[in-house]
């Protein structure tokens, strides 16, 4: 993998295990353009930088569940190594060890993605409290922008539309992004 990873690519790597948003060690390695054993060796050589809550090993049930639910992690099925999951804090700490220009750019993309996901969570949580109309409109627009940033592509955005429906215990979010490709054709995503 020679290209710098983009924010929307990072979002595809984040999964939830033990109620934590994590990225698997093999995905971290691919993002940084190194082998998984290099990532795990960096952790092993710096145990003081990875206290509890920064990285954890999956148990067999978790490994099976990850393989079952995430096609890109299918290669873990036959691995004898115990897969590790990096939390956001663990990824920040890993960035202090890996120093290449690609590592720096990858870390920036990872940090930006986690920050956007937190911002989106806060906006949705505030929307569920039924704020005033003006604040609600702002939060809906902001949520749409964040979603667009996370899921965006190289197409130019021509228009966005976000509908948020709040029921008693349920929040529904529908977001349309209209993009123009280089020929000027509009595509909804």
* Residue boundaries of the structural domains of the chain: 7-115
In three-state secondary structure terms, 92 is helix
> Of 150, 54, 37, nearest to 95 (Cα)?
54
What is the C-alpha radius of gyration for the chain, rounded to an integer number of angstroms? 19
More confident residue, 170 or 82: 82
Q: Is the pTM of this model over 0.85?
A: no
Q: What was the pLDDT predicted at 9? A: 64
- Give the span between the Cα atoms of 126 and 129, in whole angstroms: 5
**What gap in Å lies between CA 115 and CA 119, rounded to an integer?**
6
Q: Which of 28, 21, 8 is nearest to 73 (CA)?
A: 28
CA 117 to chain centre: 7
- For residue 32, pLDDT over 70 is answered with yes
From 20-29, 45-54, 175-184, the region with the lowest mean pLDDT: 175-184
pLDDT in tens, 128-143: 787 788 888 787 777 7
Distances (CA, A) of 76 to 9, 41, 63: 20, 18, 8
3-state secondary structure of 186: strand
Cα angle 170, 174, 176 (rounded to 5 degrees) comes to 170
Contact of 127 with 140, CB cutoff 8 Å: yes
8 A C-beta contact, residue 109 and residue 10? yes
pLDDT mean over 74-83: 80
Residue 57 predicted with pLDDT over 90: yes
Least confident of 3-7, 24-28, 116-120: 3-7
């Amino acid at each position: 993998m020679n290209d710098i990873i983009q924010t929307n690519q990072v979002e595809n790597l984040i999964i939830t295990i033990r109620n934590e948003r994590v990225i698997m060690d093999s995905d971290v390695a691919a993002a940084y353009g190194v082998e998984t054993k290099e990532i795990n060796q960096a952790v092993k050589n710096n145990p003081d930088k990875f206290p509890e809550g920064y990285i954890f090993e999956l148990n067999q049930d978790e490994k099976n569940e990850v393989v079952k639910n995430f096609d890109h992690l299918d290669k873990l099925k036959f691995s004898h190594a115990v897969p590790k999951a990096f939390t956001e804090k663990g990824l920040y700490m890993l960035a202090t060890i890996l120093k290449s220009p690609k590592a720096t750019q990858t870390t920036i993309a990872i940090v930006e993605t986690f920050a956007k996901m937190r911002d989106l969570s806060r906006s949705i949580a505030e929307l569920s409290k039924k704020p005033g109309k003006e604040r609600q409109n702002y939060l809906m627009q902001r949520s749409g922008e964040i979603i667009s940033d996370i899921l965006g592509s190289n197409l130019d955005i021509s228009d966005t539309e976000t509908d948020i429906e709040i029921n008693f215990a349920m929040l529904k979010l529908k977001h349309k992004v209209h993009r123009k490709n280089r020929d000027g054709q509009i595509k909804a995503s």
